[in-house]
Structure 1
Amino acid sequence: MDTSAMTQVGRVRARRAAKGSLTRSAARAGLTARGVIYLLVGFLALRIAFGDGGQQADRSGAVAEIAAEPFGAVLLWALGIGLAGMALWRLSEALFGSAGPDGRKATKRLQAVVRSVFYACVAYSVLSFAAGSGDGGRSSDEQSRDVTAKALGMPAGQWIVGAAAVGIVVAGVWVGVRAVRRDFHDKLESGGMSARVRRLVDVTGVGGGAARGVVFAAAGGFAVRAAVDYRPDRAKGLDDTLRSFADTPFGPWLLVLVAAGLALFGLFSFALARWRRV
């Protein structure tokens, strides 16, 4: 067997290993962990809407909520391991491509790299907190303001922040549009679903994805304002963005709808953990 043939065989074996049971388990665990976080963020946002705003409605708030429960440390370890599984799964997609006909496109692989790095950082912060050597990560509001301030201090900082902010707005709109169009059907192994389960998955996928897109777009809008005004304090993380919905003419009810949508996305993540094609 010549060198090129051996290389091809090696690539095939590596690709099969990447799509093996370990990677599938990592994906299932990661999607479940993501579902837990979104469920808790939705719950915390509902508490804010009804006047109990003591806890941050973001990942750091979700971690603190878990830590306060009985066996909280055990739950945090499980959550952190699940998020590490998500990072591993996305890394395999970056290296070998994801499911679907366009899974090996460069844009798909680049998205997988970004997601892998993001979830690796989140998993590290959660596991550090579970081990007693971290604080679960700073709030999303602090992170947004710090990153915006550093970017604005760079040459052409306003343009950089503005371009990134517009990108977030566009991404939020795209997330919402894809959810409403039910594009997630292409990623589901729906053969084993009953008609009732399909309807429930559609409700959680459409409602949850639309709410997630609205939140992303709103956060991007605040970042645009921060760039235009050259004021990093106008940038908002997830918590402040959610609280801003309660300050609209619709009052707390808009926040209730968005919070319920985020909780639906948590349930949708659980459905993906069961039926997503990996």
Structure 2
Amino acid sequence: MTTVKAHMPGAGRAVREEAVRAGARAGFAARGVLYLLVGALAVRIALTGTDEQADRGGAVAHLAATSFGAVLLWALGAGLAGMAAWRLSEAVLGAAGPKGDKVYTRALSAGRCVFYAGSAFLVLSFAMGERGSGEGSTDRQSRDLTARLLELPGGRWWVGAVAVGVLAAGLWIAVRAVLRKYRDHLAWGRLETYQRRFMDVTGVAGGIGRGLVFAALGLSGVRAATAFDPSRAKGMDDAIRSFAQTPAGPWLLLVVAAGLVLFGAFSFGQAKWRDL
């Protein structure tokens, strides 16, 4: 009995770690679903000019309208909650890899935990019937948050600091994709040639598309801070649509939309081949 008891704590810890890893893989799959839907909605906007929301709210509403909408929403919310739990474990215990115990790595994991926990809460609230929660326009939310920040002492600087941070994050995401930094987190040596090619194509193109959207979000925040005008702040939907207002027109929007779809596919690859 003594031997059995001695092994029980270790066995329990192993079970918990395996559960966290399973939650992480479910989270990557859930993220993939969201980006596939957002990207598909953005493609439709580029081709038809539809007024559908190309953001989390639009994706959630699209899922809810399907035959198995309730089941899909619960599964999506559970996956995002699993991702939040994994990021929390990284923040508390450290992430995998040589830099996993660094303060900035833990802080980044904590921020991601908050983001995914909030996303899970909104999706699950929508699944439980609170339609105003999961489907809220990110454009309206962004303008409301910007207006509140501008009302604070030094509000313009707060908005500017957050906006510059988001802009820098977008550029960081795109550059890391070009440099193929995602390979560091994959079981690269165990992948077949076609699997590596799949992850490179979707990782680079998807990362650039995602990074451009974040950069557009940050740039709109900088403009809102400079003009002291919250109406200039954009959410994900408006940020995606803004690419159609460039000299390249809908074609650039179509390219970015395709990138978001590919990032969704890349997330599915991470769900399977991420080294956790």
Task: Tell me if TM exceeds 0.5.
Answer: yes
Q: Which runs of 5+ in 1 are unaligned?
A: 1-11
Contact 1:15 1:96 survives alignment (8 Å)? no
Distance 1:110 1:251, change over 3 A: same
SS of corresponding position for 1:236: coil
Residues matched between the structures, number = 268
Shift of 1:91: 0.7
For residues 13-92 of structure 1, the aligned pairs below 5 Å read 17=14, 20-92=17-89
Match of 2:183 in 1: 185
Among candidates 74, 78, 101, match of residue 104 of structure 1: 101
Match of 1:233 among 228, 231, 234: 231
Query: Gapped runs of 5+ residues in structure 2?
Result: 1-8
Shift of 1:251: 1.2
Q: Does 1:127 align with 2:127?
A: no
Which segments of structure 1 move beyond 4 Å, counting only runs of 4 or more?
12-19
Task: Determine the C-alpha separation between the residues in 2 that align with 1:25 and 1:67.
Answer: 25
How much does 1:14 deviate? 11
Cα separation, partners in 2 of 1:18 and 1:185, compared to 1, 3 Å: farther
* Structure-1-length-normalised TM-score: 0.92
Q: What corresponds to 1:208 in structure 2? A: 206
SS at match of 1:28: helix
Which residue among 252, 256, 261 is the counterpart of 2:259? 261
Amino acid in the other structure paired with 1:150: R
Secondary structure, aligned partner of 1:50: helix
Give how far 1:210 is off: 0.7
Note the C-alpha offset of 1:137. Answer: 4.0
Q: CA deviation at 1:19?
A: 7.0
> Cα RMSD between the aligned structures?
1.8
In structure 2, distance between residues paired with 1:208 and 1:253: 17
Distance 1:212 1:17 in 2: 35
Which residue number corresponds to residue 149 of structure 1? Answer: 147
| Aligned partners of 1:18 and 1:96 also within 8 Å | no
Task: Please state how far the C-alpha of 1:133 moved relative to its aligned partner.
Answer: 2.8
Does structure 2 retain, via aligned residues, the 8 Å contact 1:97–1:103? yes
Partner of 2:246: 248
Greater Cα shift, 224-233 or 211-220:
211-220
